């Protein structure tokens, strides 16, 4: 039975990923930052499926909190075999309006967090010669988005880290991949008007936005043995918006 840690799993894409693993019979650690209530409700739902599920509060942009989170997961569930680095924030605005703090907050939350979590997870995975890491990138990390330079830079960093780390730890039996979502309807899209969303759909060959479950299905595949020969890859799940 696998132990899975999903960061930023209290809502949105992370919650769907955690649910998908629980439905597969995995024990799940639901990391959250501020939404304890939602995380607790999810864990109650998962326990009803007969799996073990715990919530772990941590701001993943802080390495000490990440290390403490891993200690809790190890104590309660055991070493994670599967790590999904999903927690993230967005920030919309002109680069010339970004403060140093905005930039640092973005890089710390969306990129350094992935480094901190991989560093904490890997020793046990390498010892076991078994483990899977899936990072949630973004199509903007592939092609860049106007007015989202910091976000695009952080996600491009996630893609670079994914590829480099896959080379480093492949010989130790650990696979590292990324899923690169397109537009997915979550709280992160709350700032977009109906017209904005309609325009984004128009831009996409499939003429639709994605759901958190669409991303969870891709993560499940990459974490499964069906992807045993897949590492260092970035799987785009974007309705064809970036081809």
User: Mind telling me the catalytic residues?
Assistant: 151
Q: Segment contacting ligand NAP (CB under 6 A): 85-93, 94-102, 125-133, 163-171? A: 85-93
Q: Segment contacting ligand NAP (CB under 6 A): 114-122, 142-150, 163-171, 181-189? A: 181-189
Q: Which residues pair with 206 in a beta bridge?
A: none
Name the residue with tokens 């330079």.
149
Q: Segment contacting ligand NAP (CB under 6 A): 3-11, 74-82, 91-99, 121-129? A: 3-11
Residue 85 backbone dihedrals phi, psi, to 5 degrees = -90, 95
Check binding of 3 to ligand NAP (CB under 6 A). no
The answer for residues whose C-beta is within 8 angstroms of residue 52's C-beta and 6 or more apart is 27, 28, 76, 77
Least separation in angstroms between CB 132 and ligand NAP? 18
Which of 80, 88, 131, 236 forms a contact with ligand NAP (CB under 6 A)? 88
Cα distances (angstroms) measured from residue 28 to each of 15, 49, 81, 158: 11, 12, 11, 23
DSSP per-residue letters across 34-53: S-HHHHHHHHHHHHTTT--E
Q: Segment contacting ligand NAP (CB under 6 A): 18-26, 75-83, 96-104, 182-190? A: 182-190
Check binding of 33 to ligand NAP (CB under 6 A). yes
Check binding of 5 to ligand NAP (CB under 6 A). no
Least separation in angstroms between CB 154 and ligand NAP? 8
Least separation in angstroms between CB 163 and ligand NAP? 18
Q: How far apart are CA 29 and CA 134, in angstroms?
A: 15
Cα distances (angstroms) measured from residue 136 to each of 13, 127, 161, 194, 236: 9, 25, 12, 25, 10
Q: Site map for ligand NAP, 110-149, x if CB under 6 A? A: --------------------------x-x-----------
Cα distances (angstroms) measured from residue 204 to each of 11, 25, 137, 179, 197: 25, 34, 19, 18, 11
Q: Contact 215/236 with Cβ under 8 angstroms?
A: no
Name the residue nearer to ligand NAP (CB basis): 8 or 131.
8
The residue ranges that bind ligand NAP (CB under 6 A) are 7-14, 31-35, 59-61, 86-89, 109, 136, 138, 181, 183-184, 186-189
């Amino acid at each position: 039975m696998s132990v899975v840690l999903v960061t930023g799993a209290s809502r949105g894409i992370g919650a769907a990923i955690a649910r998908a693993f629980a439905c597969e019979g995995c024990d799940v650690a639901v990391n959250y930052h501020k939404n304890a209530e939602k995380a607790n409700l999810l864990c109650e739902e998962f326990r009803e499926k007969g799996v073990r599920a715990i919530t772990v509060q941590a701001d993943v942009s802080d390495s000490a909190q990440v290390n403490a989170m891993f200690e809790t997961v190890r104590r309660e569930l055991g070493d994670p075999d599967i790590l999904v680095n999903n927690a993230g924030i967005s920030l919309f605005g002109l680069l010339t309006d970004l403060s140093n703090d905005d930039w640092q907050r973005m890089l710390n939350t969306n990129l350094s967090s992935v480094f901190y979590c991989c560093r904490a997870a890997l020793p046990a995975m390498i010892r076991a010669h078994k483990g899977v890491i899936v990072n949630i990138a973004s199509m903007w990390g592939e092609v860049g988005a106007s007015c989202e330079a910091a976000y695009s830079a952080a996600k491009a960093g996630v893609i670079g880290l994914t590829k480099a780390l896959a080379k480093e730890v492949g010989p130790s039996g650990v696979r590292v991949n990324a899923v690169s979502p397109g537009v997915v309807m979550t709280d992160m899209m709350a700032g977009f008007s109906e017209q904005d969303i309609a325009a984004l759909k128009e831009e996409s060959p499939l003429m639709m936005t994605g759901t958190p479950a669409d991303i969870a299905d891709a993560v499940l595949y990459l974490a499964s043995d069906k992807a045993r020969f897949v590492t260092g890859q970035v799987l785009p799940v974007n309705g064809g918006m970036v081809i």
